[in-house]
């Protein structure tokens, strides 16, 4: 069957083996926070703040670094291809001691670096500018209080150094993504002042030049959030301007824009002006609710645009959702595999024929080819990819997850 389908694709100019080679070489950064509902390991009550919320109480949440790593290993074992770990600063190994965020060191994350090395994967990193007393009023890097700004500046500076150390040890640059929740529930009287302070803080954070072979800086925008419905300091316009001016990577999160706005249309424009792109593949429902990624039109459009722009080499793909209402292992696996399937479908487009038809003004053929692509037996190619990587196919995935739930997650009381 696979060989027959390969021939079908070859008839429209698609090299299936080349598509699978690209798919296998495109890692997705798995967000650690899906495994424990963004709790982290700082101690305390682990309550979220700064406009972040996780709903649900499905049994089996990871309660320690060992359990989180165990769960991640299970997820990696049921995903085709090689991937990465995306780690937040609150997930350090602090040895049961209280370590303030302006005092974190690479030593607190050495265990994670060693774990990544054992798995043969790279690591990405994020400063955690939320769920902290110094972020309770919704402001961090743009705060009018200089002492609070200084605290968060230091935290971000240290996060970059930790990421660079991880990148150096693992031989793969870590993407360090700076996102802050700064904003206001109601209308501000001084939009400019907060943005001037945010820019000044970012300039301080990025003053030290780090080897890009070890660390890649990214900044992330947002339209609105809980508690910042009227004003977000780090808007899309703010961060796009900052990324262009400073030539950092720009992070586009699928849930950080208006519900009717897709980031797919932004990819080609942004890549004309910034060196690299970081994508947070998520699914917002009515707001930035970070639902599990699906094999849906929006995700397909994002992946199509990356392939059509020949942008995969300049793009870092990560996931950003957290759902505690379902099995967390299933959420990770279903979401990651959905993103991979969307990418595969994009790689199987008859790109040459589509471009030729468009340039000739033959939009009828263009439309027919796009619809034909949707009806092609791409699922056969996906199943072959899973088989080559010795991971469960679609029909076997759920039983694999349920078995782990029965043997491991259900024992966590």
* pLDDT computed for residue 381 by the predictor: 98
Question: What is the separation of C-alpha 202 from the centre of its chain, rounded to a whole number of angstroms?
Answer: 21
**Is a pLDDT exceeding 70 seen at residue 9?**
yes
Which residues sit opposite 122 in a β-bridge? 84
Higher pLDDT, 260 or 233: 233
**Is a pLDDT exceeding 70 seen at residue 247?**
yes
Which domains does the chain carry?
27-331 (3.20.20.150)
Reported as a pLDDT band with limits 50, 70 and 90, residue 288 is: confident
Query: For residues 240 and 326, what is the distance between their CA atoms, to the nearest angstrom?
Result: 35
Q: Please check whether residue 228 is in contact with residue 185, taking contact to mean a CB–CB distance below 8 angstroms.
A: yes
Report pTM. 0.96
For a pLDDT cut of 90, what percent of the chain falls above it? Answer: 92
Condensed to tens digits (0 to 9), the pLDDT of residues 346-400 reads: 999 999 999 999 999 999 999 999 999 999 999 999 999 999 999 999 999 999 9
How far, CA to CA in Å, does 233 sit from each of 142, 218, 227, 256? 8, 16, 13, 13
* pLDDT computed for residue 287 by the predictor: 78
Those residues whose C-beta lies under 8 Å from the C-beta of residue 366, and which sit 6 or more positions away, are 354, 357, 358
Residues, the chain: 413
Query: For residues 117 and 168, what is the distance between their CA atoms, to the nearest angstrom?
Result: 12
Q: What is the mean pLDDT of residues 325-331?
A: 97
Condensed to tens digits (0 to 9), the pLDDT of residues 106-122 reads: 999 999 999 999 999 99
* pLDDT computed for residue 45 by the predictor: 59
- Residue 358 tokens read as 């468009």
Condensed to tens digits (0 to 9), the pLDDT of residues 29-83 reads: 999 999 999 999 998 655 666 667 778 899 999 999 999 999 999 999 999 999 9
* pLDDT computed for residue 44 by the predictor: 67
* pLDDT computed for residue 121 by the predictor: 98
Which residues sit opposite 250 in a β-bridge? 219, 277
**Is a pLDDT exceeding 90 seen at residue 301?**
yes
Reported as a pLDDT band with limits 50, 70 and 90, residue 160 is: very high
Q: What single DSSP character describes residue 213?
A: T
Catalytic residue positions, numbered: 179, 220, 222, 253, 256, 280, 288, 290, 320
* pLDDT computed for residue 47 by the predictor: 66
**Is a pLDDT exceeding 60 seen at residue 272?**
yes
3-state secondary structure of 386: helix
């Amino acid at each position: 069957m696979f060989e027959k389908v390969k021939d079908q694709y070859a008839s429209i100019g698609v090299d299936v083996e080349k598509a699978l080679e690209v798919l296998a070489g495109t890692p997705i950064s798995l967000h650690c926070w899906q495994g424990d509902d963004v709790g982290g390991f700082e101690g305390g009550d682990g309550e979220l703040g700064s406009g972040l919320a996780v709903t649900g109480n499905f049994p089996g949440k990871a309660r320690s670094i060992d359990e989180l790593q165990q769960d991640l290993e299970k997820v990696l074992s049921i995903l085709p291809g090689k991937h990465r770990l995306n780690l937040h600063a609150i997930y350090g190994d602090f040895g049961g001691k209280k370590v303030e965020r302006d005092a974190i060191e690479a030593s607190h994350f050495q265990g994670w670096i060693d774990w990544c090395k054992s798995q043969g994967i790279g690591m990405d990193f994020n400063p955690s500018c939320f769920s902290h007393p110094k972020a309770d009023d919704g402001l961090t890097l743009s705060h009018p209080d200089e002492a609070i700004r200084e605290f968060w500046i230091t935290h971000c500076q240290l996060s970059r150094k930790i990421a660079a150390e991880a990148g150096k040890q693992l031989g793969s640059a870590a993407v360090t993504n700076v996102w802050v929740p700064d904003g206001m529930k109601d209308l501000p009287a001084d939009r400019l002042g907060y943005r001037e302070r945010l820019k000044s803080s970012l300039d301080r954070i990025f003053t030290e030049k780090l080897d890009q072979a070890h660390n890649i800086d990214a900044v992330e925008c947002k339209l609105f959030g809980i508690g910042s419905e009227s004003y977000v300091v780090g808007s899309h316009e703010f961060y796009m301007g900052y990324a262009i001016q400073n030539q950092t990577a720009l992070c586009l999160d699928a849930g950080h824009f208006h519900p009717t706005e897709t980031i797919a249309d932004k990819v080609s424009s942004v890549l004309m002006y910034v060196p690299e792109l970081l994508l947070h593949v998520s699914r917002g429902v009515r707001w930035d609710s970070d639902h599990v990624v699906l094999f849906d039109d929006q995700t397909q459009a994002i992946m199509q645009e990356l392939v059509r722009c020949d942008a995969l080499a300049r793009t870092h793909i990560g996931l950003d959702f957290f759902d505690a209402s379902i099995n967390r292992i299933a959420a990770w696996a279903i979401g990651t595999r959905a993103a991979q399937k969307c990418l595969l479908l994009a790689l199987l487009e008859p790109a040459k024929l589509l471009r030729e038809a468009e340039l000739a003004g033959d939009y009828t053929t263009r439309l027919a080819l796009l619809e034909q692509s949707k009806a092609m037996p791409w699922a056969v190619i996906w199943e072959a990819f899973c088989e080559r990587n010795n991971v469960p196919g679609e029909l076997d995935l759920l039983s694999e997850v349920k078995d782990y739930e029965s043997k491991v997650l259900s024992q966590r009381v």
